[in-house]
Chains A and B, each alone.
Chain A
Amino acid sequence: MNSPYTRCPVVTGIGVIAPNGSNTEAFWKATKEGISVVDMVTREGCEHLPLKVAGEVRDFDPTELIEERFLVQTDRFTHFAMAAANLALDDALLGRADYNRSPFAVGVVTAAGSGGGEFGQRELQHLWGQGSRHVGPYQSIAWFYAASTGQISIRGGFKGPCSVVASDEAGGLDALAHAGRTIRRGTDAVVVGAAEAPLAPYSVVCQLGYEDLSRCEEPGRAYRPFTDAACGFVPAEGGAMLVVEERDAAVDRGSRPRAVVAGHAATFTGAALWEASREGLARAIGSALADAGCAPEEVDVVFADALGVLAADRAEALALADALGPHATRVPVTAPKTGIGRAYCGAPVLDIAAAVLSMEGSVVPPTPNVVDVNVDLDVVTGKSRSADLQTALVLSRGLMGSNSALVLRRCEKSPS
């Protein structure tokens, strides 16, 4: 076995279930073209609530993708995660034949921000409507944050290290970092990511308390970070799962290393203290770059958190200036999530997927619905921009105060 210092975690597979596409190809095409799909909320039971605009996953039929015995015991957030995991495994060409003899070499890590609200609401309605004898036993597992990790592990037969990261929205990045550490400690492959399903009545009502939630009723105007028109963020459902493998193990089995999970750091600065997030995010960026052995000038693209709240956007721009110096005003910054909304923990994993695809395609996708940027950053708006991209920095902050930064490096093209 390689030493922990030479074992290198690389992304080999990407699976996306997002509002702008229920597979990676559709997601990337819409992302690259800057198509905005945030739209009026149509999910059953949500229409009358004061959240009017969101990013819904509409092109998704779980019964076509997931066996019935898993469907009856899982919430929509787990359906997304299981479907995305399958896409990622297919993309990585990682099948049962690869790990049948060593199931302990494959682990699962997911991040979760709210668990299974729709399933939980249904069973709680049974409880109060009909009595405790009418609550199904799968309630005991379906709405837990850990449900997606457990079901992906059971369904795939992955017996390696399994865990759940619950650290706010930024947990999506922290999950990747945890997968990287798991690889360095000796596991060959980790199925990692996050998907959320916050668009169900109970879940929406929980979010209505967030000051930073956009109440705007016009889809094109509801989520416009880095502008004077910023009025909060639009929530979304969906997310992404990735396959991360030890580079040599991936190459040995003929898989394609696509990006190195090179560096990460996380800080905490308290709920809704956006000015304080400047220092915390800057520290996370600086430490992630140090972890990756990466100079600020080497960052070729930034996937911003882009909350859409004036103070938060300003703090993010200043954090980039603090951490990257003069390079902060030169490096292209993008936030494709303005076209699909923020899928909580799923959002930064979708950004990781987009970052890997951006490096492979040498193109920075644009930030839909954003014009007249009011910060000193080179925000890519309108159309995508061609650029040679070797290093990507992905940022995420949670409403409760987590700040996280992840550095991805493009893998050299394999000699083929």
Chain B
Amino acid sequence: MTARLNLDELAALMKSAAGLTVDPEDMANRPEATFAEYGLDSLGLLGIVGELENRYGCSLPPDAERAKTPRDFLDLVNTDTVTTTGA
């Protein structure tokens, strides 16, 4: 079973963990835009990583909390390691 994270879910996490209102379409259209540009700081990203780890019941790759863009973050989170062990 795969648990792929998409931009809609990421936007929802940015809202719940960091109080940010971000349009998932905007993230899709601007793949180079960084988390910082959306107002997400390192503690905010850490909160999202923690929420996903609790949800999946396993650790995310160590680089996840250092991802600079939503695209990089999704690529890291949606690896086989996470989706298979997390199923």
**Interfacial residues, chain A to chain B (CB-CB below 8 A):** 67-73, 133-134, 136-138, 140-141
Contacts and interface: CB of A to CB of B under 8 A. Distances in A.
7 contacts: A69-B19, A69-B39, A134-B50, A136-B50, A137-B43, A137-B44, A141-B43
Contact of B19 (A68, A134, A140, A141): A68
A141 B18 CA distance: 14
A140 B17 CA distance: 14
B63 interface: no
Given A73-B43, A133-B50, 20 more contacts: A68-B19, A68-B21, A69-B18, A69-B19, A69-B20, A69-B39, A70-B19, A71-B19, A72-B17, A72-B18, A73-B18, A73-B19, A73-B44, A133-B54, A134-B50, A136-B47, A136-B50, A137-B44, A138-B47, A141-B43
B43 A140 contact: yes
A134 B43 contact: no
B54 A134 contact: yes
Nearest to A130: B54
A133 B47 CA distance: 10
Contact of B43 (A68, A71, A138): A138
Please classify the interface of chain B as helix (H, G, I), strand (E, B), loop, or mixed, using the class held by over half of its residues: helix
Contacts of A138: 43, 47
A68 B19 CA distance: 5
Q: Which of B19, B20, B21, B54 has the most CB of A within 10 A?
A: B19
Contacts of B50: 133-134, 136-137
Contacts of A71: 19
B43 A72 contact: no
A67 B18 CA distance: 11
Nearest to B49: A137
